[in-house]
């Protein structure tokens, strides 16, 4: 039957097919008088926001409604996957509303990271992608680090208007909003009482005061996220769980490092130097001669060079080479995986990453 049912909590169209997508409700829930989606159900009963994914088109349509309202936009990104977690076209869609950029998962960075440089890099990268932002904050939603400063800034920038939190899937948006809810005393009550706002935007609404609210928008899927190409098991390996321990390799030219079998860096030319690798502590790094690298990959991807496991291999695009001539202390960034820091000096490098996941370079953060 084709009758359309909308969630009484957020207004999204109810579907019973896919648990991880917007509007999911179990079939049994359709018999109830008031139907709410799984996400609203969790918010109502556990005070917990659960993220769901929308396709780009649906998301952009939804988000473009923000331009008709006034308010502050909080754009959340994963600092380990800036490109993968960046939603392009946001500026065009959100009108003239102020935007603050929040880099999440700062707890994973080694202590030696220069936070100011990281903030500058985030701000500049956003600008290059066409999104000028008012301010940049670094937080750990998970550990609650940086939340106070962000909340103070949020109050200043929003000028008593609404706040919209946007971000791609997996940036930690649910963790962030749950942290906000838990930290703000009194808000818990507000959610359960005025939690059926009946908004037609499909956003979850969390009241901030009697005139304004914070809206959680659905997470958008970004195709350049390496997470989309790999199995759940592999995702666990490449996602750092605690502070990253840099691993150092002294390389001569014509040597190669493999990061599992998901990325690779060839030292084509330059003086012997250290390659400092910042990746999940669980990801194996393998050194070999450049001359042997192609063959090693062909023969051992999925075994010695792992992840990818077999599930991932079935959907992983082939590795693509990107050439760089670097000068001065430089990071070679593999979005969603990590980065490699080269010391001050000159080097010619070939970096390989799955096609569609772009490698970039930046002035070193350490």
Does residue 353 touch ligand GDP according to CB under 6 A? no
What DSSP assignment string belongs to 154-176? HHHHHTTSEEEEE-BTTSSHHHH
Closest CA to 77 of 101, 100, 55, 60: 101
4 to 43: interface string for ligand GDP, x by CB under 6 A: ----------------------------------------
Does residue 141 touch ligand GDP according to CB under 6 A? yes
Using CB under 6 A, pick the residue from 118, 165, 171, 265 that binds ligand GDP. 171
What residues from 45 to 64 belong to the interface with ligand GDP (CB under 6 A)? Answer: 51
Rounded distance between C-alpha atoms, residue 79 and residue 141, angstroms:
12
Using CB under 6 A, pick the residue from 83, 97, 123, 174 that binds ligand GDP. 174
Does residue 273 touch ligand GDP according to CB under 6 A? no
Shortest CB 11 distance to ligand GDP, Å:
19
Answer whether 142's CB lies under 8 Å from 99's CB: no
Using CB under 6 A, pick the residue from 113, 175, 224, 312 that binds ligand GDP. 175
Answer whether 81's CB lies under 8 Å from 335's CB: yes
Answer whether 363's CB lies under 8 Å from 117's CB: yes
Q: Which stretch binds ligand GDP (CB under 6 A): 105-113, 207-215, 303-311, 322-330?
A: 105-113
Rounded distance between C-alpha atoms, residue 167 and residue 102, angstroms:
10
> For ligand GDP, which is the closer residue by CB, 83 or 174?
174
What residues from 238 to 267 belong to the interface with ligand GDP (CB under 6 A)? Answer: none
Answer whether 81's CB lies under 8 Å from 90's CB: no
Closest CA to 198 of 40, 25, 1: 40
Shortest CB 105 distance to ligand GDP, Å:
4
Rounded distance between C-alpha atoms, residue 200 and residue 222, angstroms:
24
Q: Which stretch binds ligand GDP (CB under 6 A): 109-117, 156-164, 167-175, 284-292?
A: 167-175
Closest CA to 174 of 237, 104, 223, 235: 104
Q: Which stretch binds ligand GDP (CB under 6 A): 6-14, 162-170, 280-288, 290-298?
A: 162-170
Q: Which stretch binds ligand GDP (CB under 6 A): 103-111, 147-155, 222-230, 288-296?
A: 103-111
Q: Which stretch binds ligand GDP (CB under 6 A): 35-43, 135-143, 276-284, 325-333?
A: 135-143
Going by the DSSP 8-state scheme, the letter that residue 217 receives in this structure is P
Rounded distance between C-alpha atoms, residue 81 and residue 336, angstroms:
4
Query: How many Cα atoms sit within 13 Å of 87 on the Cβ side?
Result: 32
DSSP bridge partners of 305: 301
With CB under 6 A as the rule, give the number of residues binding ligand GDP: 17
Residues lying near ligand GDP in the complex (CB under 6 A) are found at 51, 104-105, 107-108, 140-142, 167, 169-175, 219
């Amino acid at each position: 039957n084709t009758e359309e049912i909308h969630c009484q909590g957020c207004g999204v169209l109810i579907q019973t097919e896919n648990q991880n997508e917007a509007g999911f409700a179990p079939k049994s829930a359709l018999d109830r008088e008031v139907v709410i989606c799984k996400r609203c159900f969790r918010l109502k009963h556990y005070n917990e926001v659960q993220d769901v994914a929308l396709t780009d088109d649906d998301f952009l349509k939804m988000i473009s409604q923000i331009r008709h309202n006034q308010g502050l936009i909080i754009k959340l990104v994963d600092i380990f996957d800036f490109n993968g977690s960046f939603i392009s076209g946001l500026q065009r869609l959100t009108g003239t509303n102020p935007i603050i950029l929040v880099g999440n998962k700062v707890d994973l960075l080694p202590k030696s990271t220069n936070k100011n440089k990281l903030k500058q890099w985030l701000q500049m990268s956003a600008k290059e992608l066409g999104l000028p932002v008012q301010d940049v904050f670094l937080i750990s939603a998970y550990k609650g680090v940086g939340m106070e400063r962000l909340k103070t800034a949020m109050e200043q920038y929003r000028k008593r208007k609404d706040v919209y939190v946007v971000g791609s899937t997996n940036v930690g948006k649910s963790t962030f909003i749950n942290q906000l809810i838990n930290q703000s005393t009194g808000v818990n009550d507000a959610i359960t009482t005025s939690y059926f706002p009946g908004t037609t935007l499909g956003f979850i609404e969390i009241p901030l005061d009697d005139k304004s609210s914070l809206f959680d928008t659905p997470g958008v899927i970004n195709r350049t996220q390496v997470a989309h190409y790999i199995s759940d098991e592999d995702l666990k390996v490449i996602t750092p769980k605690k502070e990253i321990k840099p691993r150092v390799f002294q390389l001569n030219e014509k040597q190669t490092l493999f990061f599992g079998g998901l990325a690779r860096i060839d030292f084509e030319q330059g003086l012997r130097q250290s390659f400092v690798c910042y990746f999940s502590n669980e990801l194996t790094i393998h050194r070999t001669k450049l001359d042997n690298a192609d063959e090693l990959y062909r023969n051992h991807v999925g075994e010695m060079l792992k992840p990818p496991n077999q599930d991932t291999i079935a959907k992983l695009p082939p590795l693509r080479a990107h050439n760089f001539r670097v000068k001065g202390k430089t990071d070679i960034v593999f979005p969603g995986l990590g980065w490699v820091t080269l010391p001050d000096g000159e080097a010619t490098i070939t970096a390989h990453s799955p096609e569609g996941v772009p490698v970039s370079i930046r002035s070193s953060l350490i």
